[in-house]
Structure 1
Amino acid sequence: MKAVLCEQFGPPSSLVVKDIASLQPGPGQVVVAVHAASVNFPDGLIIENKYQFKPTLPFSPGGEVAGTVKAVGPGVSGWAVGDRAIGVCGWGGFADEVVVDVRKLVRLPEGIAMDAASALVITYGTTHYALQVRGKLQPGETLLVLGAAGGTGLSAIELGKLMGARVIAAASSEEKLALCRQAGADDTINYASEDLREGIKRLTGGRGVDVVYDPVGGDYTEAALRSMAWEGRLLVIGFTTGTIPRPALNLTLLKGCSIVGVFYGAFSEREPARYDALMQELLGWLREGRIRPIISAHMPIEQATQALEILGRREVKGKIVLTTALGREGGLP
């Protein structure tokens, strides 16, 4: 089997593609034959040893795949060879096969394409949990999405609209904002050409926004926090700028607002029943066409380096999905 390997921590250019032995499942594990693997921001962090999880070298990056069950380990019930599945593996997914703990396996119904399925859990799952559980977004509220043209940002636009919010999308170019409007954004702010706070003030009549979805960090966080409505909620998703902000906490007092952390991985471990219920709701929306992951590029898995470099330069609009030979044989681009 082919695998993209991180043999030493470093930038995407340090990855290598090698043929390695096929995998065997241990107790409570399943081997998934990968058809598609989506590329996510943590994949770039983990190969540079900048992520909170530290796999042992060598390993394959890739935390989210869609494929079919190839082998079932001891103690696993309810799964059989050939079953369609999404695997949330943390790492190991940029390969022809990956071992997944059965607790991290999601059954994939017929009628959902493998590439769309591979782009579902980390982005839409995180956003679903963020907006519904942590942010308690209500119909009629105003949601500001930072970094809105990325995979997580576009998922926030879609789910925010599905939940009845008015959505303001903020991104760094008119091309990106056009994609945001295509995804359903009601209003947009180009924060490369307009001050973010002024843009929010203009679009809300000075009232501010109820919920901020922030996967970006850096200076944008405090600007958004200063633009909150009374009892607003700022959702901390991540830090794609590479800078963890240190906002003035007196703002939370003055605005009666909250800064709310969103750690979807820990939630899935601590509340598996609730996690599964949210996932089944997402799968239903995907099957019904109520959400549609925007995939900007399909690339063969051997081009993982290039995909991660594009992501690192923040040039991705939507998601990049890597496909294996098996996935392409099954009809994926």
Structure 2
Amino acid sequence: MQAWQVHENGEPSEVMRLEEAERPTPGEGQVLLKVRAAAINFPDALLCKGQYQVRPPLPFTPGVEICGETEDGRRVIANPALPHGGFAEYTVADERALLPAPDCLDDAETAALHIAYQTGWFGLHRRARLQEGETLLVHAAAGGVGSAAVQLGKAAGATVIGVVGGPEKAKVARDLGCDVVVDRRSQDVIAAVKEATGGRGADVVYDPVGGEAYQQSAKTVAFEGRIVVVGFASGTIPSPALNHALVKNYSILGLHWGLYAAKNPQLIPRCHEQLTELAARGAIKPLVSERVGLTDAAAAVQRVADGVTTGRVVVLPRLGARTQGAAA
């Protein structure tokens, strides 16, 4: 089979090599999966650079989120077991963690449903307790993680403010349903959010960016608001001023979705049931901006790393084959 291999750490476009490899052999409790689609996540770029919290032994195949097919023909969502990631024709995953693929989504959309939407659901509902009628501020609203949070916020009945970088991403955010879009390149984010909220600020802030975005979050969060820290795509980890949180009465909430698999795993399939229901009624649908073949995966991972993509980029190892619905 063909698989992308990383033999040394560095920029994805420089260290990912497409090679012939043996099909991985499932370990105890694992299953072999044919990869139908693999969604590219920012952690895939961090894995290549050796900067992710998980560091698989070299060489390894990146790709942490797939729509796959079992040997008995079931269409499933899985997180591949590293070092056998999803940017390959076949991978392996823990059988107990497999989730059924929604019939209403094609392979690429299904591959993009899991991590970003589970992260959004846990962050907005379990951690921040977002309520109907509240205001939600989403940083990087046109990106893979942000676009999921926008859709989930709208589905929950919130007013959604999306912060983006540039007019192209502003259009994407508007099309996603943001009630207010703020272009950080041409607007003062803090002033724009305060104007949009009548000076009150956002009840919940969803921040996968960190750095300057977090500083903006602290200045635009409402009284008794909640800032959900999801990641640091900017590359800068902020140091919150806790005295500011004290005098302004807001909460800073961390969200490490992967930890639920170890600490409270039964919540993940419950969340998946709710996401499947939302997808079935059209309330959420992963924004897949690009579908690329396996040979183009390294360049696509680099584009995600560089922050120039919108929505999700998905690798289809059999690009051109049928990928629509469960019967594909």
Query: TM-score scaled to structure 1, two decimals?
Result: 0.94
Contact 1:116 1:293 in 2 (8 A): yes
Seen in structure 2, the aligned counterparts of structure 1 residues 203 and 300 have a Cα distance that, compared at 3 Å, is: same
Matches within 5 A, 1:222-237: 222-237=215-230
Match of 1:176 among 162, 169, 173: 169
Q: Which deviates the most, 298-307 or 81-90?
A: 81-90
Helix, strand or coil at the partner of 2:199: coil
- Which residue is equivalent to 1:74? none
> Is 2:137 the partner of 1:136?
no
Deviation of 1:192 after TM superposition, in Å, equals 1.1
What are the superposed Cα offsets for residues 19-38 of structure 1, whole Å, 9 maximum, x if unpaired?
11122212110111001000
Match of 1:83 among 74, 79, 97: 74
What are the superposed Cα offsets for residues 75-105 of structure 1, whole Å, 9 maximum, x if unpaired?
xxxxxx2111111126411111111011321
Give ranges in structure 2 of 5+ residues lacking alignment: none
Matches within 5 A, 1:155-304: 155-304=148-297
Contact 1:35 1:328 in 2 (8 A): no
Helix, strand or coil at the partner of 2:35: strand
- Which residue is equivalent to 1:118? 111
Query: What is the letter of the counterpart of residue 330 of structure 1?
Result: R
Runs of 4+ deviating beyond 3 Å: none
Q: 1 CA distance for matches of 2:101 and 2:61?
A: 23
Seen in structure 2, the aligned counterparts of structure 1 residues 52 and 158 have a Cα distance that, compared at 3 Å, is: same
Deviation of 1:268 after TM superposition, in Å, equals 2.4
- Which residue is equivalent to 1:76? none
> Is 2:31 the partner of 1:40?
no
Contact 2:88 2:317 in 1 (8 A): yes
Seen in structure 2, the aligned counterparts of structure 1 residues 114 and 331 have a Cα distance that, compared at 3 Å, is: closer
Instruction: Say what the alpha-carbon RMSD is for the aligned residues.
Output: 1.3
Helix, strand or coil at the partner of 1:329: coil
Helix, strand or coil at the partner of 1:189: strand
Matches within 5 A, 1:4-23: 4-12=4-12, 13-23=14-24
Query: What is the letter of the counterpart of residue 87 of structure 1?
Result: A
Equivalent residue pairs, number: 321
Contact 2:37 2:68 in 1 (8 A): yes
Deviation of 1:269 after TM superposition, in Å, equals 2.2
Counting aligned pairs with the same residue, the percent is 37
Contact 2:127 2:253 in 1 (8 A): yes
Match of 1:152 among 145, 152, 155: 145
Deviation of 1:184 after TM superposition, in Å, equals 0.6
Q: Which deviates the most, 83-92 or 98-107?
A: 83-92
Q: 2 CA distance for matches of 1:109 and 1:122?
A: 15
What are the superposed Cα offsets for residues 271-298 of structure 1, whole Å, 9 maximum, x if unpaired?
1111110111112222332211111111
Deviation of 1:113 after TM superposition, in Å, equals 1.1
Deviation of 1:123 after TM superposition, in Å, equals 0.7
Helix, strand or coil at the partner of 2:266: helix
Q: 2 CA distance for matches of 1:331 and 1:132?
A: 32
Query: What is the letter of the counterpart of residue 85 of structure 1?
Result: V
- Which residue is equivalent to 1:308? 301
> Is 2:22 the partner of 1:29?
no
Query: TM-score scaled to structure 2, two decimals?
Result: 0.95
Contact 1:89 1:104 in 2 (8 A): no
Q: 1 CA distance for matches of 2:58 and 2:35?
A: 21
